[in-house]
């Protein structure tokens, strides 16, 4: 590693950026497939995908071609006008999601804000005031705006930022009795991650999700899924909630939706498709042609049964390799598809630093949990390489 360049970069970033990130001491300048390359030309195997963003890996040829082609024609056009590239992307996305309509924005937090607005307006127009509560889960993560922080069921994200948007209620993941009690006549919607990401890759139980779906249908409460990290094929199905045999009224996507460019989406089924009216919502950059062009490539690539099966098979292979380590440093392994976590007996951050030194990028998810979100294009040989690095690092960590 070029220490001088990295030290200079670190000083520059600390000088000009607000102190919001704990950055690791490496500067990446390029990427190819499952690897990132630093200023010295050293490559590191990427099991993070930019936190589930680079779902097709780095420098995917079809993404590069789409971006180059679109950039030669049009960077941006206001949503006051029509755009063929954005329309094609939206059409393919709605079809892949088997939903009715979509609103395009820039991020997961924006998408979840849009979902909350839909739930409240749906209920307000139909039932009047007093039915505006949205139920979310303890351990959830829905974004960092004031409203999506209010929806996030983790106190560590709340400190110093209140007061928050009112009207959110939390229940424990998989506590069906608490869910039944929470879904009273003041509730307009629920917003769940089928697999919680930031709290440690925690899948909901089938009974919990099915109970939620049944109560929501009975009481005309919108069933909404935050699929920003767990959706778009990451679990081996287009949406993670599909694994539970339920249908969503609203679903949100972002992260990998354009393979690395910022884009978010609020997708609505029949019940919620007509809630927003002209002037109700907006986003200056939402559906940007550059992101839309890349998003079309992602949808065309991911939304194929064989590709989704391959993700599931690679996920099973990764999980099997982790279980095969039989490391005393690992206390639990869980997840679906290429969204996997390993709980440790030691703190995760020093392990992440050692893995970086040895050539593997992994994420944390809580104090003692490693999170693996490799690109869908990763190979079994690359998984083997990463597991070998992890095995040696955990052995040294004791």
CB 316 within 8 A of CB 327: no
Q: Which of 38, 47, 208, 226 is catalytic?
A: 226
Sign of the CA dihedral 165, 169, 172, 174?
negative
- Cα–Cα distance, 32 to 46 (Å, whole number): 10
CB 36 within 8 A of CB 361: yes
∠ at Cα 34 (252, 239), nearest 5°? 20
CA-nearest of 63, 64, 61, 59 to 46 is 59
Sign of the CA dihedral 61, 39, 373, 196?
negative
Q: Which of 92, 225, 249, 255 is catalytic?
A: 255
* Burial environment of residue 342 by CB neighbours within 10 A (0 to 12, 13 to 18, 19 or more): buried
- Cα–Cα distance, 260 to 46 (Å, whole number): 14
CB 263 within 8 A of CB 292: yes
Is 184 among the residues known to form the active site? Answer: no
CA-nearest of 380, 345, 344 to 362 is 344
Q: Which of 141, 168, 225, 276 is catalytic?
A: 141
Is 226 among the residues known to form the active site? Answer: yes
**Radius of gyration of the CA atoms of the chain, in A:** 21
- Cα–Cα distance, 255 to 234 (Å, whole number): 11
- For tokens 């056009």, name the residue: 77
Is 141 among the residues known to form the active site? Answer: yes
Bond preceding residue 166 cis, omega within 30 of 0: no
Indicate which residues carry an active-site annotation. Answer: 141, 226, 255
């Amino acid at each position: 590693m070029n220490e001088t360049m990295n030290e200079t970069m670190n000083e520059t970033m600390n000088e000009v950026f607000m102190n919001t990130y704990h950055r690791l001491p490496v500067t990446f300048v390029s990427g190819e497939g499952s690897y990132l390359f630093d200023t010295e030309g050293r490559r590191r195997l990427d099991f993070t995908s930019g936190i589930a963003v680079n779902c097709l890996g780095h420098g995917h040829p079809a993404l590069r071609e789409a971006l180059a082609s679109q950039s030669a024609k049009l960077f941006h056009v206001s949503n006051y006008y029509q755009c063929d590239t954005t329309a094609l992307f939206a059409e393919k996305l709605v079809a892949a999601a088997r939903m009715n309509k979509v609103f395009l924005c820039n991020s997961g937090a924006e998408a979840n804000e849009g979902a909350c607005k839909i739930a409240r307006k749906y209920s307000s127009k139909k039932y009047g005031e007093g039915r505006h509560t949205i139920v979310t889960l303890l351990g959830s993560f829905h974004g960092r705006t004031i409203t999506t922080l209010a929806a996030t069921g983790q106190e560590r994200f709340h400190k110093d930022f209140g007061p928050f948007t009112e009207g959110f209620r939390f229940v424990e993941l998989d506590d069906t009795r608490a869910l039944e009690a929470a879904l009273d006549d003041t509730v307009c919607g629920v917003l769940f991650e089928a697999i919680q990401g930031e709290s440690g890759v925690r899948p909901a139980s089938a009974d919990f999700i099915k109970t939620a779906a049944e109560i929501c249908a009975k009481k005309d409460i919108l069933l909404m899924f935050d699929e920003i990290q767990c959706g778009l094929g990451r679990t081996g199905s287009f949406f993670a909630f599909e694994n539970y045999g339920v249908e969503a009224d609203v679903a949100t996507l972002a992260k990998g939706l354009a393979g690395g460019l910022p884009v978010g989406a609020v997708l609505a089924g029949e019940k919620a498709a007509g809630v927003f009216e002209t002037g109700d919502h907006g986003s200056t950059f939402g559906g940007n042609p550059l992101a839309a062009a890349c998003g079309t490539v992602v949808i065309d690539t991911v939304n194929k049964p064989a590709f989704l099966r391959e993700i599931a098979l690679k996920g099973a292979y990764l999980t099997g390799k982790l279980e095969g380590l039989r490391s005393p440093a690992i206390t639990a392994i869980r997840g679906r598809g290429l969204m996997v976590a390993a709980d440790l007996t030691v703190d995760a951050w020093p392990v992440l630093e050692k893995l970086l030194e040895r050539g593997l990028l992994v994420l944390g998810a809580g104090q003692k949990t490693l999170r693996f979100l490799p690109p869908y294009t990763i190979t079994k040989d690359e998984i083997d390489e990463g597991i070998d690095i992890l095995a040696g690092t955990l052995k040294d960590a004791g």
